[in-house]
Amino acid sequence: MSKAKAVSTSRGYCVVPLEEVSSDWKKVVLANRLMRLGWDVFRNTASVNHYPAGSFFVPLGGLPVSESKARTYLERLAKGLGISPVFEAGTLPPGLIKLTRPRIAVLYATGEKWALMTMNVLETMEFDVNALSAEDIRAGALDYANMLFIPGGAASDKKTDVGPEGEAKVEEFLNQGGGLLGFCGGAALTSKVKDGWGLLDVERNPGKVPKAMHGPILIKPEKSDHPLWWGYPSEGYPLAPWYGKALSPRSNAVRVLGRYDKPTDDFYVDHELTGCFFGEFLPEEMGTLDKIFDGYANPANLKGMVAIAEGEYGKGRIIVGYPHPETPGLEGGFLLLANAIYHVTQNQSLSDKPWLPPDGKKSYHEVEFRALADGLRGRHAGQVLPVSKDLVKFGTCNLYWVPRPHIAWSYVGMGGFYLCERLESYTDEILRQLGDLPRLLDGINAKRKRLAASQKPVVKDGLTTVEQRLDDVYRVGGQALDEALKAYRTDMKDCLDEWVLNFKKILLYQHLLQIMKEKGSDPALIEETTRKHKKLNEEYVGSWRWEASSPKYRAIFAVLDNAAYYLANLKFELVDISLELDRLGLLAG
């Protein structure tokens, strides 16, 4: 990692040291908020004055406000996050690197549950984020970002959706120095696999990787002083792959960052087996279990396999891996995710232009925008939320799946739970975003009112720009909300009710067939029941992949998918406008 010379005319600076992995992500929030306000933030690459590597350093001089005012503002932000900053006299110590403010584009193309997970965690840490569809990427929207995040989900589906033109845009982005993170399906898409882009000289490990493994497993650093591992113990930290694999670098151009080690108690194989317990309590039977699963049951096979790696494409830096540090509820991985983001965006350029999906054709005002958002929230809460909760309850009551503690939208059990997870993730995130929009607008209006009396030209010009950006939000968002509301009003509820009813029947048939085979039922009866199950499955599910392929399923989720995409981008833009008003407030005095 190259170092930017830490030059400051400040007579003092603030240090936010890394101390505890499970809560250090809150310090990332502070750093991101300050960078989005235009402040410089640095990190140390090695221990400096007893501050561990990766701590955050913020000079208090060279800002458009006085040092005392900067300190007061920083103290207030830190207190709100439960952080205790340390204030030091003098200039910044040597050997620091200056962070580049990340502007992250999350690929929103198939596997949207994983995209929603990613955006949820990035939003929690207050990164500057946008959701980009495959169409957005083909249209050149990566010009607004300095990092592309490719979430999980089938690599083959993503490759098809993005297409050759979009792939060329990604290659151009990397050649110009953009960074890339890819986890799970995103790692596969980046790699040299059958359905990948081949950006990194790495393949899937052909060894006996446990089948459909998921849950936290210890990831051991290859080099504990690498920036990815700043703030973490040298022995590693548990991260969760979700149905992941392992990597196999093909050349020295790809560097190993972390390897699989020992699984935790919450690590599963094939949805149902806690293989680590067999190894601990019945080691003599581990061979029997492994034989049943054709050698793909023993977590011990994973030890030493590559979990995370990095390399370059053109001027761009890439990190890929199969564990998911962006898992909501597993906050211990958040700092590692932030470390990866800062690492791949180091010294990259940043566009100052805000981004929203393509313009709407009709003008909307704030009152209309609020009314549409409120109407959609009512429809969603009345039509989708009860059905989603009912499906979760149905599966848990029948022991088809069991929710994981502390992890959102995650279950263990028989096949089909991932379709439940997908519906639940859409339901929760759409409702959350719709609830946040009026709160953000209220805060923005209060800040605009306080700043309206300022006579400073920089503040007045800034308010004019804010007005223009809000007009864009109302125009684009108003049209998107209007279209979503119409889709909900037509036959969304009836379609969703019909699909969930028949999905329950499919699960019951699946259970019934399992019982019939175990009890040795009449083969003719099993064949007839199988035919009924297959017919329902083809009509309402289709292929049993990460998402169903039947037209009835896709018609429902297309509505939810479109709503989630627009709401996320509208929310991100309003957050950025609110932070811009905070910056103007500091300038106003």
The angle at the Cα of 406, spanning 403 to 411, to the nearest 5 degrees, equals 20
Which of the two residues, 412 and 536, has the higher pLDDT score?
A: 536
pLDDT digits 0-9 by tens, 538-547: 999 887 555 6
If one counts every other C-beta atom within 10 angstroms of the C-beta of residue 300, the result is 17
Do the domain assignments include residue 517?
yes
Do the domain assignments include residue 531?
yes
CA 97, CA 578: separation in Å to the nearest integer? 28
Taking Cα atoms as reference points, which of 272, 428, 329, 348 lies closest to residue 98? 348
The pLDDT of residue 524: 96
Do the domain assignments include residue 6?
no
Q: What is the mean pLDDT of residues 302-311?
A: 96
Domain co-membership, 88 together with 120: no
Domain co-membership, 266 together with 175: yes
Residue 255 pairs with which residues in a beta bridge? 310
Scored b (16 or more CB within 10 A) or e, 400-425 reads bbebbeebbbbbbbbebbbbbbbbbb
Domain co-membership, 376 together with 326: no
**Whole-number Cα distances in Å, 575 to 41, 124, 245, 370:** 20, 12, 36, 16
CATH number assigned to the domain comprising residue 21: 3.30.70
If one counts every other C-beta atom within 10 angstroms of the C-beta of residue 281, the result is 8
**Whole-number Cα distances in Å, 569 to 116, 121, 345, 574:** 12, 15, 21, 9
CA 403, CA 393: separation in Å to the nearest integer? 10
Statement: residue 309 has pLDDT above 70: yes
Please report, as a single letter, which amino acid is at residue 109.
A
Tokens, residue 107: 């690929």
- From the centroid of its chain, how far is CA 253? 27
Statement: residue 352 has pLDDT above 80: no
The pLDDT of residue 6: 46
pLDDT digits 0-9 by tens, 216-237: 999 999 999 999 999 999 999 9
Enclosing domain of residue 309: 103-344
Do the domain assignments include residue 349?
no
Statement: residue 527 has pLDDT above 50: yes
HSE-up of residue 498 (Cα within 13 Å, Cβ side): 12
Number of domains in the chain: 3
Which of the two residues, 542 and 21, has the higher pLDDT score?
A: 21
Domain co-membership, 159 together with 16: no
Last residue of a domain, one of 47, 66, 98: 98
Last residue of a domain, one of 82, 98, 114: 98
Q: What is the mean pLDDT of residues 369-387?
A: 96
Statement: residue 353 has pLDDT above 80: no
Do residues 200 and 320 lie in contact, with contact meaning Cβ atoms separated by under 8 Å? yes
At residue 22 the predicted structure's pLDDT band, cuts being 50, 70 and 90, is: very high
Q: What is the mean pLDDT of residues 499-516?
A: 94
CATH number assigned to the domain comprising residue 243: 3.40.50.880
Lowest mean pLDDT among 154-163, 191-200, 341-350: 341-350
Do the domain assignments include residue 377?
yes
- β-pairing, 147-150 vs 179-183, is parallel
Domain co-membership, 165 together with 24: no
DSSP 14-31: EEE----TTTTHHHHHHH
Candidate ranges 198-212, 394-408, 480-494, 570-584; pick with highest mean pLDDT:
570-584
CA 64, CA 40: separation in Å to the nearest integer? 12
Domain co-membership, 260 together with 221: yes
Domain co-membership, 109 together with 89: no
If one counts every other C-beta atom within 10 angstroms of the C-beta of residue 86, the result is 12
Phi-psi region of 62 (alpha: psi -120 to 50; beta: other; left: phi over 0): left
Do residues 365 and 415 lie in contact, with contact meaning Cβ atoms separated by under 8 Å? no
| 3-class secondary structure, 226 | coil
Domain co-membership, 384 together with 495: yes
φ and ψ of 557, to 5 deg: -75, -15
Q: Count of H helices and E strands in the chain?
A: 16, 18
Domain co-membership, 251 together with 296: yes
Do the domain assignments include residue 79?
yes
Domain co-membership, 310 together with 167: yes
Q: Show Cβ contacts of residue 505 under 8 Å, excluding neighbours closer than 6 positions.
A: 536
Domain co-membership, 134 together with 276: yes
Q: Show Cβ contacts of residue 108 under 8 Å, excluding neighbours closer than 6 positions.
A: 115, 131, 132, 133, 565, 568
Do the domain assignments include residue 360?
no
Last residue of a domain, one of 344, 374, 391: 344
Tokens, residue 325: 């540090």
Do the domain assignments include residue 4?
no
Domain co-membership, 81 together with 107: no
